[in-house]
Amino acid sequence: MKKTTFAMFLSLAAALSAAAEGGASTNDPPKIAAEKTRVRCAVCNGKGRLKLRPPDFGQYGGRIESRSHWDVTLDPCPVCGRGRGWRVVWDLTQPEPSTEPPCMTCGWSGLAQCRKCLASGIIKCPRSDCKDGWIVTKAQSTSRRSSSRKPPTVTPCPECKGVGKVECPQCKGMRAELCRRCFGTGRKRR
Q: Using CB under 5 A as the criterion, what x/- string covers residues 8-47 for binding Zn ion?
A: ---------------------------------x-xx---
Cα–Cα dist 120/173, whole Å: 8
Is 74 one of the binding residues for Zn ion (CB under 5 A)?
Answer: no
Choose between 61 and 97: whose C-beta lies nearer to Zn ion.
Answer: 97
Q: Using CB under 5 A as the criterion, what x/- string covers residues 117-156 for binding Zn ion?
A: x-------x-x--x--------------------------
Interface segment toward Zn ion; rule CB under 5 A; list 5-13, 21-29, 58-66, 99-107? 99-107
Residues 130, 84 contacting (CB under 8 angstroms): no
Is 52 one of the binding residues for Zn ion (CB under 5 A)?
Answer: no
Reply yes or no: is the peptide bond before residue 169 cis, omega within 30 of 0.
Answer: no
Sequence-distant (6+) residues with CB within 8 A of 156 are 52, 54, 72, 133, 134, 135, 162
Please give the distance of CA 24 from its chain centroid, rounded to a whole number.
30
CB 109 to Zn ion: min, Å = 7
Is 112 one of the binding residues for Zn ion (CB under 5 A)?
Answer: no
Map residue 177 onto helix, strand or coil.
strand
Cα–Cα dist 114/167, whole Å: 12
Is 116 one of the binding residues for Zn ion (CB under 5 A)?
Answer: yes
Interface segment toward Zn ion; rule CB under 5 A; list 17-25, 89-97, 101-109, 144-152? 101-109
Instruction: Tell me, by CB under 5 A, how many residues bind Zn ion.
Output: 24
Residues 44, 38 contacting (CB under 8 angstroms): no
Is 157 one of the binding residues for Zn ion (CB under 5 A)?
Answer: yes
Residue 77 burial (CB count, 10 A): 23
Total residue length of the chain: 190
Residues in contact with Zn ion by CB under 5 A are 41, 43-44, 77, 79-80, 103, 105-106, 114, 116-117, 125, 127, 130, 157, 159-160, 168, 170-171, 179, 181-182
